[in-house]
Amino acid sequence: MTYQAPVKDMLFDMQELAGLEQVAQLPGFEEAGIETAQAVLDECAKFNEGVVAPLNFEGDRNPSYWKDGQVFTTPGFKDAFRQFSEGGWQGLQHPGDFGGQGLPKTIGAACVEMLNSANLSFALCPLLTDGAIEALLTAGTPEQQQTYIPKMISGEWTGTMNLTEPQAGSDLALVRTRAEPQGDGSYRIFGTKIFITYGEHDMAGNIVHLVLARVTGAPEGVKGISLFIVPKFMVKADGSLGERNDVQCVSIEHKLGIKASPTAVLQFGDKGGAVGYLVGQENRGLEYMFIMMNAARYAVGVQGIAVAERAYQKAVQYAKDRVQSRPVDGSLPGSAPIIHHPDVKRMLMTMRALTEGCRAMAITAAAAYDAAHAHPDAEVRKQNQAFYEFIVPLVKGYSTEMSLEVTSLGVQVHGGMGFIEETGAAQYYRDAKILTIYEGTTAIQANDLVGRKTARDGGATARAIARQIAATEAQLAERGSEAARAAHKRLKAAREAFEQVVDFIAGQAKADPNAAFAGSVPYLLLAGNLMAGWQMARALLVAEDKLAAGEDRAFMQAKVITARFYAEHILSRVPGQRDAIVDGAQSVTALALEAF
């Protein structure tokens, strides 16, 4: 077994936590009920388990390579991408007007998880194309949309995002790539972009580069950045491909993980200037690029959940097969599979609970996104947008940091064999590391959470969410089970700690910004832990009701136990995080710079 999609858990989250039936009542999503979700997920699982997952190990061992300006992907990738495109998977969440299927994010997110569990490196190509499609849907002209979007949805072409330059990483004010206006409305683009995922490859006929650049004479800083379409091959009036544009891949990076995904250095304008077309208005490029970034940030959070799931499945399989030592309780006379040992169970339960908690958080966030975009009531749209925007840095930040813990535990369960590459456990650990870095590091997500999502409204959105959590606590308090009592105790303590941190952050952001931002990442981890733990507590309530009705006993019993474990072993970390943030800010910044 390479990978088995957790379809049942995904459908549980959609139906019981995200309210899929309510999503299916939104205009445009009427066909997206549980039957559609089941059919789509089953088909998605079949494709990813059978076609994409078997290529994962091969991609790590035999990655993409560059030769004479061309990039050749891992054997099997090109054919798998063809099948992915023919199956309509790229267009799952995109509008029917352009050849997509127009499904809600609530369903699409689960399919994105499966693709990334199957093969993180492979999945990055569709992920970047999704971002390019979103940006053009938002800011492109009707002509640009008709020229590029249907071809990207069909998989004939792919898309990229070109932000970073050698001197401009996260600080885009330093972007130097320049755009010179031409008489015909086009521009000539000159500059170098680095870290361009699938910036060159052999899986599609054309690559649509979306490039940040400064028009000649534009203001300095972020206010002078514009966004351009720069296709690898020029597109003729009839939609067919013309001559090669002046954009070259001069090398690809050698990396710790995601080795099969080519990370390109692109040179624009070596032979007179790459032809580019302005997207939207001049000097508003950063605003449009953030549409891509926000779509990608959520997707990267889902990548964290995906690689954690894969690592968990691998560790369970090994723990059941590996015979070592007699059980400490003497339940077996001789050596037994290591899954009998309490500490191995603790590691596996930690992996399982973290993965399920983050999945539940991500899918409920997706439902909020759908309501924010499609609900007929403006006030409901506004509330859901505020909730979604608060949760996105948590989905991105907490789920990816969680994936490092889970994949590290996966190596640990394997013992010495986990350190051996042939086992495959180490690949998930290496692949997971990039997730906390690209599309904005954990610290950048945390700065966003502190500045834009908490301090800006004085903590109002955070406190509104805390009130919803308190309502779940009240439901838990009415239950008599040990699991509900345990969840109530830990959820209440975590929510109270969260509220104290929100008060601290909102109070200090202007008065003492160093104190507020010293605890920014711990605050993100605390908030992510709480949101995932809240969803697990809600899941516990549902599972207990289903058990009382005699429904699906094995699955529901496991859900109750996993939710209780989350409360007792993971939510219980929150009060200590609160102490570090509120009481420990000074010790972060006290040491003189010369003492380091």
- Distance of alpha carbon 147 from alpha carbon 135, whole angstroms: 14
Mean pLDDT of 403-421: 98
478 burial type by CB count under 10 A (0-12 exposed, 13-18 middle, 19+ buried): exposed
Cα-Cα-Cα-Cα dihedral sign, residues 504, 507, 513, 517: positive
Residue partners of 431: CB distance under 8 A and separation at least 6: 60, 120, 121, 257, 258, 307, 407
Pairwise CA distance, residues 291 & 158, whole Å: 17
pLDDT > 80? residue 311: yes
For the cut 90, the answer to whether the pLDDT of residue 105 exceeds it is yes
Between CA 455 and CA 267 the distance in angstroms is: 40
Phi, psi of 422 (to 5 degrees): -60, -25
Q: Report the mean per-residue pLDDT for the chain.
A: 97
Tokens standing for residue 47: 């494709």
| Angle, in degrees to the nearest 10, between helices 285-321 and 342-374 | 150
SS (H, E, C) 285-345: HHHHHHHHHHHHHHHHHHHHHHHHHHHHHHHHHHHHHCECCCCCCCCCCCCCEHHHCHHHH
Residue for token pair 């001789």: 334
DSSP 415: G
Its pTM stands at 0.98
How far apart, in whole angstroms, are the C-alpha atoms of residue 528 and residue 395? 7
> What single-letter amino acid sits at 363?
I
What band does 534 get if pLDDT is binned at 50, 70 and 90? very high
Q: Mind listing the pLDDT tens digit for each residue in 367-384?
A: 999 999 999 999 999 999
Do 226 and 213 touch, CB atoms closer than 8 A? Answer: yes
Does the domain at residues 7-154 carry the CATH identifier 1.10.540.10?
Answer: yes
Distance CA 406, CA 400 (A): 10
Residue 554: is it exposed, middle or buried by C-beta count within 10 angstroms (0-12/13-18/19+)?
exposed
Q: Examine the pLDDT at 291 and tell me if it is beyond 90.
A: no
Segment 41-54 mean pLDDT: 98
In the structure, what pLDDT confidence band is assigned to residue 146 with cuts at 50, 70 and 90? Answer: very high
d(CA 555, CA 551): 9
Q: Which two tokens stand for residue 254?
A: 């050698």
**Nearest residue to 486 via CA among 535, 440, 528, 537:** 537
Catalytically annotated residues = 439
Cα(131)–Cα(146) distance, integer angstroms: 16
Beta bridge partners of 235: 241
pLDDT of residue 1: 64
CA 7, 28, 383, 516 torsion-angle sign: positive
Q: Does domain 157-283 have CATH number 2.40.110.20?
A: yes
Q: Which string of DSSP letters, residue by residue, matches 208-244?
A: EEEEEEEETTPPSGGGG-EEEEEESEEE-TTS-EEEE
Q: What is the pLDDT of residue 294?
A: 84
**Per-residue confidence band for 293, with pLDDT thresholds at 50, 70 and 90:** confident
pLDDT of residue 9: 98
The length of the chain in residues reads 596
Residues 172/161, Cβ–Cβ less than 8 Å: no
Residues 504-517: what's their mean pLDDT? 96
Q: Hey, what's the torsion of the CAs at 457, 462, 468, 469, to 10 degrees?
A: -170
Strand pairing class (65-67; 70-72): antiparallel
Confidence of residue 295 (pLDDT cuts 50, 70, 90): confident
Q: What is the mean pLDDT of the segment spanning 173-187?
A: 96
Distance between CA atoms of residues 395 and 525, nearest Å: 10
- Residue 590 confidence (pLDDT) above 70: yes
**42 in helix, strand or coil?**
helix
> Of all residues in the chain, what percent carry a pLDDT higher than 70?
100
CB-count burial class (<10 Å; 0-12, 13-18, 19+) for 98? buried
Q: How far is Cα 581 from Cα 362, in angstroms, rounded to an integer?
A: 25
Four-residue CA torsion sign, 429, 433, 434, 440: positive
Given this model, what pLDDT does residue 292 score? 81
Q: What is the pLDDT of residue 242?
A: 98
Q: Which residues of 356-386 are buried (b: 16+ CB within 10 A; e: fewer)?
A: bbbbbbbbbbbbbbbbbbbbeeeeeeebbbb
Q: How far apart are CA 224 and CA 74, in angstroms?
A: 39
Q: Which helix or strand (DSSP H or E) is residue 61 part of?
A: helix 56-61
Residue 263 pairs in a beta bridge with 197
In this structure, how many other beta carbons lie within 10 angstroms of the beta carbon of residue 271? 11
Tokens of 248: 């070259």
pLDDT at 202 exceeding the cut of 80: yes
